[in-house]
Amino acid sequence: TGVDGGAARGGRVEFLPAEWHTCLREEGDGTFATLQSVTQRSVPFLRKLANDVVMDVIVYQQDSHRRRMLSFVASRLNDIVRRWRQHVPRFDGPIVLLGHSLGSLICFDLLDTPLVAAAPAPAPPDAPPAAPPAELDFTPAAFVGLGSPVGCFAALRGASLGPSFSLARCGTYFNVYHRNDVVAYRIEPLLLPPGAAARPAAYVPYSGGADGQRLHVKVKQTVRSVQKAVTGIGAAAASSASAVGSWFNSSLSEKVLAATAALDAAARPRSAAADGS
């Protein structure tokens, strides 16, 4: 994310996406093609969900795949920033990395130099070439994890971050998540001294207005209000139609009765004249 011209001068924020899934599915080493060949055909929905979502996490845990993904993302980010600076030569604003879900873990590992610089395990002779080192050509001003599982992975890795922890390539780190997101984990408890209790997570309203209602709640309320209004209009129209129908029916009945009476009145003199003759 870059701020063209600087926030102080009222510049805008530009969002430039870096997609990492391609390196697994389209530019991989055939692992997922082999995975499809061994996948059973029963319960296809659950099989697809497992292969498309759960398997990404399992694959990232494999050292060779993780290094290839980190290298791919680093190269992609470097290319985006380089082309952005060529497109906007006067750019002097900060660059902020936003990572969502597993993408936030990839960004976290990219900014955590000790993990990236760790020596790779010896590869077998017939293994494909190792991915180049994952290095960023720029220093982000901040990193924002959205719905991030970093806390879960850090705990599983046995990481003891501590109060003095900071990312080597980034000085500011935000962990933003929805409290009902099952993939998102807290990071604050890992930053506390041993035995210290973490405070409850802060809830930040992210919908407009002082009430802090979430967007989908406001949308639902708006839809219900519109439905009630439409229902009220329909009821009023039905009532009006019923009243018009009643008036029309009564008026028609009155007209028919009046016409009948007039015909009777017109026929009576003729009958009397015929009787007198």
pLDDT score, position 48: 82
Give a yes or no: residue 238 inside a domain: no
Give a yes or no: residue 13 inside a domain: no
Give a yes or no: residue 249 inside a domain: no
Rounded Cα–Cα distance for residues 38 and 21 (Å): 21
pLDDT score, position 173: 93
When pLDDT is averaged across residues 222-251 and rounded to a whole number, the result is 68
Give a yes or no: residue 133 inside a domain: yes
Give a yes or no: residue 186 inside a domain: yes
Chain centre distance of CA 48? 20
Rounded Cα–Cα distance for residues 82 and 39 (Å): 41
Residue range of the domain that includes 153 = 20-119+127-228
Give a yes or no: residue 54 inside a domain: yes
Give a yes or no: residue 84 inside a domain: yes
Give a yes or no: residue 222 inside a domain: yes
Number of domains in the chain: 1
- Are the C-beta atoms of residues 73 and 106 closer than 8 Å to each other? yes
Confidence of residue 77 (pLDDT cuts 50, 70, 90): very high
When pLDDT is averaged across residues 61-77 and rounded to a whole number, the result is 88
Q: How do residues 126-156 score in pLDDT, each as one tens digit? A: 555 555 567 889 999 999 999 999 999 998 8
pLDDT score, position 21: 76
Helix/strand/coil (H/E/C) assignment for every residue in the chain: CEECCCHHHCCCEECCCCCCCHHHHCCCCCHHHHHHHHCCCCCHHHHHHHHHHHHHHHHHCCHHHHHHHHHHHHHHHHHHHHHHHHHCCCCCCCEEEEEECHHHHHHHHHHCHHHHCCCCCCCCCCCCCCCCCCCCCCCCCEEEEECCCHHHHHHHCCCCCCCCCCCCCCCCEEEECCCCCCCCCCCHHHHCCCCCCCCCCCCCCCCCCCCCCCHHHHHHHHHHHHHHHHHHHHHHHHHHHHHHHHHHHHHHHHHHHHHHHHHHHHHHHHHHHHHHC
Confidence of residue 193 (pLDDT cuts 50, 70, 90): confident
Two structure tokens written together for 132 = 């180049």
Among all chains, which residue has been given the structure tokens 């007039």?
Answer: 262
Q: Residue 142 burial (CB < 10 Å; 0-12/13-18/19+)? A: middle
Q: Considering the entire predicted model, what is its pTM? A: 0.63
Q: Residue 32 burial (CB < 10 Å; 0-12/13-18/19+)? A: middle
Q: How do residues 15-56 score in pLDDT, each as one tens digit? A: 888 887 777 666 666 777 787 788 888 888 888 877 777 888
For residue 234, give Cα distances in angstroms to 222, 237, 238, 241, 248.
18, 5, 6, 10, 21
